[in-house]
Amino acid sequence: MTKIPAKPKGAAVKPRTRIQRAKREAILEAGLDVFSQEGFRGATLDRIAKAAGLSKPNLLYYYPSKDAIHEALLRGLLDTWLAPLGAMDPDGDPLTEILSYVQGKLALSRDYPRESRLFANEILRGAPNMKPMLQTHLRQMVEDHAAIIRGWIDAGRIAPVDPVHLIFSIWALTQHYADFEVQVRAVMGEDHDPFPGAAAHLDTLFRRMLSPA
């Protein structure tokens, strides 16, 4: 890489080199581990640094503060966590659309439990860093989906339900298997994988609730 002029000197503002990108990625990975387990206040820079294989000052060379790491992770949640929410085709078969959304969300809980717990921790604290986003972005998303669902109901294609509470139900039921994994495993046994059973159960649940009378 040849010398680039006008290189902003405020070290590590945007990931330029592959190395920087990799280290910042490692830090986010470590931060996700620690924040999702311990919550924001419980997480320490030392633990994150150690988990990322860096010294604390070195970590702070890439991210200027603990808050910065946390906020970067929360911003990342928008992609990993809320993007799959964007998929509900008003022209598709209602039950199929909803059921596959449910299964997709359940798969997220299985494959990205740390992200789910990070989000849960943030909400539990009162969402100090996400409230504006929830009140705008998420709210809009819910309203859009609710409108679609309401359309299906009005057309008699699924049984009538409150669309907003239906969406809450999907979130609650799927995220439960990530956020309360410890409880689920304590009840079902440590070696028992709860997800296949959960997938079948949720399919049954929503199918029966929504099948038109």
Partner DNA sequence: CGTCCGTTTTACCGAATGGTCAAATAAGAC
Partner DNA sequence: GTCTTATTTGACCATTCGGTAAAACGGACG
Provide the binding-site residues for DNA, judged by CB under 7 A: 1-3, 7, 9, 11-12, 17, 19-20, 23, 43-46, 54-58, 60-62, 64-67
Closest to 114 measured CA to CA, from 203, 196, 30:
30
Nearer to DNA, 11 or 213 (CB): 11
Contact 43, 34 (CB under 8 A): yes
Rank residues 58 and 204 by Cβ distance to its own copies and give the closer one: 204
DSSP at 158: S
Q: Are 95 and 158 in contact (CB under 8 A)?
A: yes
Task: Classify the phi-psi angles of 167: left when phi > 0, otherwise alpha if psi is within -120 to 50, otherwise beta.
Answer: alpha
Shortest reach from residue 31's CB to DNA, in Å = 11
Closest approach of DNA to the CB of residue 54, in Å: 6
* Cβ pair 145, 163 in contact under 8 A: yes
Question: Which is nearer to DNA, 12 or 184 (by Cβ)?
Answer: 12
Asked if 104 contacts 82 with a C-beta cutoff of 8 angstroms, the reply is no
Candidate residues 37, 100, 103, 129; the one interacting with its own copies per rule CB under 8 A: 37
Q: Does 200 bind its own copies (CB under 8 A)?
A: yes
CB of 65 to DNA, least distance (A): 4
Q: Which is nearer to DNA, 48 or 85 (CB)?
A: 48
